[in-house]
Amino acid sequence: MLSRKDMEHPFGELAHYAGISKRTLRYYDEIGLLKPTNTTKVGYRLYGEESVNRLQQILFYRELDFDLETIKTILDDPQFDRFQALGEHIQSLQEARGEKTMSDEDKFEGFKKELIEKNELAYGKEARKTYGDEEVDASQRKLMRMSEESFAEFDQLDKEILEKLEKAERTKDPGSEPAQEMARLHKQWLLYTWPSYTKEAHAKLAQRYVDDPRFGEHYQGRAEFLRDAINIYTGKVSISEN
């Protein structure tokens, strides 16, 4: 397992690997778009995994000609409607080039591709190591085939899980009826994108929510309770053992 030091990249090394100039990376720091994870006593900037993931997202949006201010808003505001922003931006580019206005269907297809690209950059390496390339590729294909109506249901179910998780945690009992209902909904949510489901994979994912803070952030500090509820739901841990 890599130590914190091993996972940090010096300023110049990161610029080289990302294919950008040191001046650009320094400017991103100055405007608050990409801050180093750490700074040595002599002032050298160091960039950890979180910063590397953020830089990958910045470069993705730059490829689409988003301005830096908009990129900062997209990355810093979890409530920002990225689907709408992506659609409006691509439409404005097409209009500027005299191209046909993008249909809602095309916008949605672009949004799904952007979502897959973002997830691949942020979590792809770990996911492929855990589940294999075939499983991850199949999941991405399933997402690309998802209709806008199904995606809305998928997104709404995610919000419902977060609400039920908050209420279920108040029971302090992952085996309670509210907690188990929440775990059942979580399985239902996974089936929107998972090509197949097993209890073992569900429990493994729940543990990753605890081990990887990037996942834990989405569940607002309740990842351990979610994991415990899923472990009971999948039979990995019995109610009596809990």
Q: Is the pLDDT of residue 66 over 90?
A: no
pLDDT, tens digit (0-9, with 9 covering 90-100), for 148-192: 899 999 999 999 999 999 999 999 999 999 999 999 999 999 999
Rounded CA gap, 207 and 186, in Å? 14
Percentage above 90 pLDDT, the chain = 42
List, for residues 6-19, the tens digit of each pLDDT value: 468 888 888 888 88
Confidence of residue 200 (pLDDT cuts 50, 70, 90): very high
Residue 9 C-alpha from the chain's centroid: 22
Cα-based distances in Å from 135 to 4, 149, 165, 195, 200 = 30, 24, 27, 7, 14
**Counting Cβ atoms within 10 Å, is residue 126 exposed (0-12), middle (13-18) or buried (19+)?**
middle
CATH number 1.10.490 given to 147-234: yes
So where are the chain's domains? 1-77, 81-145, 147-234
CATH number of the domain at 1-77, out of 3.30.365.10, 1.10.357.10, 1.10.1660.10, 1.10.3720.10?
1.10.1660.10
Q: Where does residue 212 fall: left (phi above 0), alpha (psi -120 to 50 degrees), or beta otherwise?
A: beta
pLDDT(102) > 60: no
CA distances for 16 relative to 19, 20, 90, angstroms: 5, 6, 29
pLDDT the model gives residue 101: 53
Choose from 130-139, 181-190, 200-209, 229-238 the range with maximum mean pLDDT: 181-190
